Each structure stands twice: as C-alpha cells, then as structure tokens.
C-alpha cells in the first residue's frame, strides 16, 4: 500500500495554473464589471499624478522661459561701426563695398551703410523764395545711404520709390525723405516731382518713408545716395553698416563681420550684436512649487487609500466569486495575483490619465502666459509607473484578505 501510494504520489497530478492571457482577461473583466466605480476609484490617483506632473512641468517651464519678450527685430540686427577714434588715427575706416561684402556671408538677409553728412550748416528748403511770414528753411540732418540700406532697416514707403544703385553710381541728386522731414517741408506727394535745396544744391525728391524698423532717426532725415554724398560732400568712409540676419545667425555673422570688412585690422571695428537670450534658471526651491508638490503628494496618498478601500470592498463583495474560483482550481496565489493586477491596472490607468492631464495643464498655462512649455520627458513616462506602484501597494492588503478566505465558507455565501 505504501509503495502504491508513493508510486501514485510521484505520478503526476496535474497542477492548476493560469495563462497570462487568461489572467489579464479575468482581471480586466473584474475591473470593467463596474466601470462607474472604477472611474471614481481612479480619479484620486488621476488628480494626484496630474498635480505632480503639472507642478514639475511648470517649475521646469518657468525656469526655462526667456526673460522678457523675444524681440525678433533685435535678435536679427547687427550694427558695425568704426571705433570712436580718440587719437584721430586714419586706421579706422569701413570699406565702401561693406554691404556687398556682408551680403556674401551666409545668414545675412540685407546689409546697407549709413553715414551722417556734414553739410557745413547748409539749411534745407523747398522754396527758392524767402517768405518772411513763414519758415522756409529748416535745419534737418542729411544722411547718406547705400541703396540696400532701406531693406536692412526694413523701411516702407508711403509714396514714390527708393533711390537705386544707378542713382548712387551716377551721383544723382535725388533724396528720400523721412515722414517727419516731409511733414516739416510740406511735401506730401512726389507726383509733381518736388525738389529741395540743401544749401544751394537742388535735389529731386523721389520717395517719402512711411516707417522704418530700425534707426527711427531716419524718419526726420533727408536721405541721399552715398555716391552723391561722396561726390558732393567728400565723405571718406561709411560710418555705420547695418546688417539684417536670419534668425539665429546673428552671433555667427557678428563674429565673421570684422574679418570680412577689415581683414587687415579686425580690431578697428566695433560690432554690436544682440545679446544671447537670457534664461532664468532659478531652482525649484519656490514656496509655491513646494506647496503644489505637497498637494500632489497628499492627493496621491488619498488616491492610494481610495484604491485600497474600493479593492477591499470589492474583495468582500466578491466573496462568492473567490470561493468559486478556489473551487474550480485557483490557488491562493492566483486569487492574490488577480486582485493585485486589478488594483495595479487602476493605478496605472490613473497614472496615464493624470500624466496626460498634467501635461495639458503645463501646455495650457504656457500658452496663456506665452511661455515655451518644457517638460522633462521622464516625468510623463515615470508618472504611470508611479501610479501602477501606488495601485500595487494599495492592492496588497485587500489581496491578502482575499487569500485568507476559505473556499468552503466563501461558497456558502449567497452569490
């Protein structure tokens, strides 16, 4: 008998078991049996995770935002001048073909030069007759510009045209008026080919400016071609080179500019380029952040207790189901596994929804405030894992309670 028994003992008794697919199926069926309750249970974790993700994301976002508003105009502007010559050295000059040299550089959109013209005190007038009852002569600044300057300063015309390369090469006596200068001189249109006199020299007015993006002083000035200024007023060298670059190219172009313009003496030039955008890199030591993190933590604890509570209620409610499962072959381990899986899935779901909501909050607040949303990629990835861990931990006690149930007693309950 003993022999027979041990023989039977070692002959295989098929063990019960559950395939992962079936386990997942049973757990999800358990979860979705009461979808409304599941949603309520998960909401605590959702709020907690969302608060944490949003707080971390906003802290990151505010920490990375660019101080002040991004100024596209300033960020694409380079102004090159000769160093103020204190010693009267003749070394400090800019070449006349500076705009052409600059335009050959990659990243330059437009370049022009601008020079103040000393008219030796000549006054500007549009009328050859001195009218004692009105002021007919004005003291207005005269600037000489290369034709491309208008593009470089983003000038717009209200009427007429800009002077061109031909005007400059031929030293034509033409002028473009700033709108302020035109107002003072009483010029509103160029249809009748009005002229003005600088001292005794007559200039044809070809255009009137409406606006400029840079160098607002130009609005009050008479602008004449640089070729004309060289011929008539003997200016020796351009004073200023204005360059418009593509966005992001400014610092590179600024570095290359002295070499392009004065390869013989790069120290002779002063290049003004936009400053690097400044970022606030303050730590997360902010009181408000700490408060929100605390709030998120508290919601998570509340969420965890919620999951634990509901899972426990569910274990008690499903006593008869547990008994049945034990009868048809579930071991205590299988029962625990199913309840742990259900609570972990709830935590995971809460984590995923919470991470999504938190990210939406970060993006939404950033959009409202005009910030660039910044989120550590690990945050939304780790949040669901955190949710799952919370679910797992909260499910531990209910699952243990479920394994303690005796199938016999559990089966006697009405089910």
Q: Is the dihedral of CA 242, 245, 249, 253 positive or negative?
A: negative
Closer to other proteins by Cβ: residue 16 or 130: 16
Smallest separation (angstroms) from other proteins to the CB of 19: 6
Smallest separation (angstroms) from other proteins to the CB of 5: 5
Cα(222)–Cα(205) distance, integer angstroms: 9
Pick the piece of the chain touching other proteins (CB under 8 A) from 10-18, 139-147, 172-180, 277-285.
10-18
Cα(24)–Cα(403) distance, integer angstroms: 19
Cα(30)–Cα(346) distance, integer angstroms: 11
403 lines the binding site for other proteins (CB under 8 A)? no
Smallest separation (angstroms) from other proteins to the CB of 26: 6
84 lines the binding site for other proteins (CB under 8 A)? no
15 lines the binding site for other proteins (CB under 8 A)? yes
- Coil, strand or helix at 140: coil
User: What's the DSSP call for residue 12?
Assistant: P
Q: Which of 65, 173, 262, 326 binds other proteins (CB under 8 A)?
A: 326
281 lines the binding site for other proteins (CB under 8 A)? no
* Residues pairing with 367 in the sheet: none
Q: Are 246 and 109 in contact (CB under 8 A)?
A: yes
Cα(47)–Cα(203) distance, integer angstroms: 74
Cα(321)–Cα(310) distance, integer angstroms: 16
Q: Which of 9, 69, 104, 278 binds other proteins (CB under 8 A)?
A: 9
Smallest separation (angstroms) from other proteins to the CB of 8: 5
Pick the piece of the chain touching other proteins (CB under 8 A) from 6-14, 112-120, 159-167, 200-208.
6-14
408 lines the binding site for other proteins (CB under 8 A)? yes
Widest CA span in the chain: 144
- Coil, strand or helix at 120: coil
Cα(226)–Cα(241) distance, integer angstroms: 12
**Residue matched to tokens 């604890």:** 301
Strands 195-198 and 222-225, sheet pairing:
unpaired
User: What's the DSSP call for residue 101?
Assistant: H
Smallest separation (angstroms) from other proteins to the CB of 315: 15
Smallest separation (angstroms) from other proteins to the CB of 310: 16
Smallest separation (angstroms) from other proteins to the CB of 12: 9
The residue among 216, 120, 206, 140 whose CA lies nearest residue 167 is 206
Closer to other proteins by Cβ: residue 226 or 321: 321
213 lines the binding site for other proteins (CB under 8 A)? no
Pick the piece of the chain touching other proteins (CB under 8 A) from 20-28, 90-98, 166-174, 372-380.
20-28
14 lines the binding site for other proteins (CB under 8 A)? yes
Closer to other proteins by Cβ: residue 214 or 334: 334
- Coil, strand or helix at 211: strand
Closer to other proteins by Cβ: residue 17 or 166: 17
**Residue matched to tokens 């969302």:** 50
Closer to other proteins by Cβ: residue 309 or 331: 331
Q: Are 329 and 15 in contact (CB under 8 A)?
A: no
Site for other proteins in 26-55 (CB under 8 A): 26, 29, 32-34
Smallest separation (angstroms) from other proteins to the CB of 34: 8
One character per residue 293-322, x = contact with other proteins (rule: CB under 8 A) = ---------------------------xx-
Cα(366)–Cα(58) distance, integer angstroms: 8
- Coil, strand or helix at 123: coil
Closer to other proteins by Cβ: residue 25 or 71: 25
**What does residue 133 show for φ and ψ, rounded to 5 degrees?**
-85, -15
Smallest separation (angstroms) from other proteins to the CB of 397: 22
The residue among 314, 317, 334, 316 whose CA lies nearest residue 325 is 334
Q: Which of 16, 120, 130, 191 binds other proteins (CB under 8 A)?
A: 16
327 lines the binding site for other proteins (CB under 8 A)? yes
Q: Given the rule CB under 8 A, which residues bind other proteins?
A: 4-5, 8-9, 11, 13-19, 21-22, 25-26, 29, 32-34, 320-321, 323-331, 334, 407-408, 411-415
């Amino acid at each position: 008998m003993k022999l027979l028994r041990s023989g039977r003992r070692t002959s295989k008794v098929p063990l019960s078991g559950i395939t992962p697919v079936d386990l997942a199926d049973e757990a999800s069926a358990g979860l979705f049996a009461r979808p409304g309750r599941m949603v309520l249970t998960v909401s605590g974790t959702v709020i907690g995770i969302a608060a944490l993700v949003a707080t971390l994301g906003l802290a990151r976002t505010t920490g990375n935002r660019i101080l002040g508003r991004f100024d596209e105009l300033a960020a694409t502007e380079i102004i090159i001048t000769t160093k103020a010559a204190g010693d009267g050295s003749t070394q400090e000059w800019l070449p006349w073909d500076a705009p052409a040299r600059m335009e050959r550089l990659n990243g330059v959109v437009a370049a022009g030069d601008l020079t103040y013209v000393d008219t030796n005190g000549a006054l500007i007038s549009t009328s050859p007759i001195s009218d004692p009852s009105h002021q007919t002569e004005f003291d207005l600044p005269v600037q000489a510009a290369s034709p491309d300057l208008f593009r470089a300063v983003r000038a717009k015309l209200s009427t007429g045209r800009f002077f061109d390369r031909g005007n400059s090469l031929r030293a034509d006596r033409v002028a473009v008026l700033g709108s302020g200068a035109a107002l003072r001189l009483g010029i509103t249109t160029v249809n009748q080919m009005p002229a003005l006199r600088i001292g005794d020299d007559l200039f044809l007015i070809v255009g009137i400016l409406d606006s400029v993006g840079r160098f607002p002083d130009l609005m009050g000035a008479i602008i004449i071609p640089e070729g004309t200024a060289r011929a008539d007023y003997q200016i020796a060298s351009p004073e200023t080179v204005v360059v418009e670059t593509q966005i992001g190219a400014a610092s590179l172009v600024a570095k290359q500019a002295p070499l392009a313009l004065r390869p013989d003496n790069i120290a002779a030039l002063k290049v003004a380029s936009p400053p690097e955008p400044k970022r606030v890199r303050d730590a997360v030591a902010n009181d408000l952040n700490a408060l929100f993190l605390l709030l998120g933590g508290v919601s998570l604890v509340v969420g965890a207790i919620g999951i634990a509570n509901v899972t426990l209620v569910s274990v008690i409610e499903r006593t008869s189901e547990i008994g049945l499962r034990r009868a048809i072959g579930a071991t205590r381990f299988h029962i625990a596994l199913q309840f742990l899986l259900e609570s972990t899935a709830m935590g995971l779901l809460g984590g995923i929804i919470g991470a999504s909501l938190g990210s939406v909050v970060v993006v939404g607040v950033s959009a409202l405030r005009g910030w660039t949303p910044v989120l550590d990629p690990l945050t939304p990835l780790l949040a669901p894992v955190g949710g799952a861990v919370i679910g797992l931990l909260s499910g531990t006690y209910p699952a243990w309670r479920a394994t303690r149930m005796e199938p016999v007693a559990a089966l006697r309950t009405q089910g």
